[in-house]
Each structure stands twice: as structure tokens, then as C-alpha cells.
């Protein structure tokens, strides 16, 4: 947060490097965020770029009460919804009239987790795994090797591989506890709707 305040005060002084850093740190996350409202990538990118252009041209009078993340998310959301209303794009999900629109407009911008945040958490969790567990886990989940193949490669028994991966998963579940509810529900649904 402190770094962001510093960047914002530098932005006010027309510091382009500060602007660049802000742009680069939020760009992809905001485009992805817009993607769940408007499905056209080019339009999403245009919208996010225009918001940054506006931030630059109004940099001297810019005042952000909440947080930069909140401000950016709200700006993107408003711009996307404007676009929808303007274009009268037909929503692909069934409408339940007002209520649906309301839910979709609700975002907890203060606590919103961006894609890079989640990615970072997941990568951090994996990097915290003890080397042998991580190795077995990565070989299985990222390289797609079977337990038998991993056992051969690492010169250990299949049982050891099983144990290591099990331990890795347990640790990851613990590290990612906070995000797990949603992930669990995701998996649960995949099973239910087979």
C-alpha cells in the first residue's frame, strides 16, 4: 500500500516511470476482470487502456479515496457496463430480470483478489513445499508423469512417490485454506454434473 501511495504521488508530478509501473502491474488483471463482463478481448483491452489514458491526463487532479485497486476495478466495471448498455449486448446467461443484474454488479472491490494475487499465492504455496514433495508433485501434476514413471526417474519406490505427493497435497491444502472453499466447490460440481 505504501508503495502505491508513493507511485500515486509521483504520478501527480508527471513521473512517467511511476505511470509505467502502475500500468504494468494492473493491466492484465484488469483485462481479465473486464473479460467476465464483456466477452470481447479487444473491447476489454480498449476499455482498460482508455482508463489508464484518462488517469494520465487527469493525473494532477486525481483523488482516490479508497484504494487504487478499488478505484481501478470500479472504473473498469462501470466502463464495461456502460458499453453493454450502449451496445445492448445480449447477456449469455438466463436473466432473472433485476436480481441477476444486481448480483453481477456487486463486487467487493476492497477485498477483491486479482488473478496475479491468486497466482502468486498458488506459486508461493508450491515453492514452500519441501523439495522432495514439490519434485514429486510437479512431476505428476505439471509434467503428467505417472507414479510408476516418477518412481523410476527418482529411483524410489512407487509407495514413496504416493506418500510424497499425498504430503504435498496436504500442505497445499493447508497453505491455500482461504481459497479452498471455492476450489472445492468447483471440483464438487464437476463430479455432480458429470
Residues that bind another protein (CB under 8 A): 16-17, 20, 23-24, 27-28, 31-36, 39, 41, 44-45, 48-49, 52-53, 56-57, 92-94, 96, 99-100, 103, 106-108, 111-115, 117-118, 121, 125, 127-128, 130-132, 135, 175, 178-179, 181-183, 185-186, 188-189, 192-193
CB 182, min distance to another protein, A: 4
Which residue number, 5 or 57, has a Cβ lying nearer to another protein?
57
176/38 Cα distance (integer angstroms): 29
CB 63, min distance to another protein, A: 20
CB 146, min distance to another protein, A: 20
Which residue number, 62 or 125, has a Cβ lying nearer to another protein?
125
Q: Which long-range contacts (CB under 8 A, 24 or more apart) does 128-137 make?
A: 128/171, 128/175, 129/168, 129/171, 129/172, 132/164, 133/164, 133/165, 133/167, 133/168, 133/171, 134/168, 135/164, 136/161, 136/164, 136/165, 136/168, 137/164, 137/165, 137/168, 137/169, 137/172
CB 132, min distance to another protein, A: 6
Which residue number, 64 or 154, has a Cβ lying nearer to another protein?
154
In Å, what is the CA distance from 121 to each residue of 9, 45, 125, 153, 166? 29, 25, 6, 29, 20
CB 5, min distance to another protein, A: 20
C-alpha cell at 18: 511511476
Amino acid at each position: 500500500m505504501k508503495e502505491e501511495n508513493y507511485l500515486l504521488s509521483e504520478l501527480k508530478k508527471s513521473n512517467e516511470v511511476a505511470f509505467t509501473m502502475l500500468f504494468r502491474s494492473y493491466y492484465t488483471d484488469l483485462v481479465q476482470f473486464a473479460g467476465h463482463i464483456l466477452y470481447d478481448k479487444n473491447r476489454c483491452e480498449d476499455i482498460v487502456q482508455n482508463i489508464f489514458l484518462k488517469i494520465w491526463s487527469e493525473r494532477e487532479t486525481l483523488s482516490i479515496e479508497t484504494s487504487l485497486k478499488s478505484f481501478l476495478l470500479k472504473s473498469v466495471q462501470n466502463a464495461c457496463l456502460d458499453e453493454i448498455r450502449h451496445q445492448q449486448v445480449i447477456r449469455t446467461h438466463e436473466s432473472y430480470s433485476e436480481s441477476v443484474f444486481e448480483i453481477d454488479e456487486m463486487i467487493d472491490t476492497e477485498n477483491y483478489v486479482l488473478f496475479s494475487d491468486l497466482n502468486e499465492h498458488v506459486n508461493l504455496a508450491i515453492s514452500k513445499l519441501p523439495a522432495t514433495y514439490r519434485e514429486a508433485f510437479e512431476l505428476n501434476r505439471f509434467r503428467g508423469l505417472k507414479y510408476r514413471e516418477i518412481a523410476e526417474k527418482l529411483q524410489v519406490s512407487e509407495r514413496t512417490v504416493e506418500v510424497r505427493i499425498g504430503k504435498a497435497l496436504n500442505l497445499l491444502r493447508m497453505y491455500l485454506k482461504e481459497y479452498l472453499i471455492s476450489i472445492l466447490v468447483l471440483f464438487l460440481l464437476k463430479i455432480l454434473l458429470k
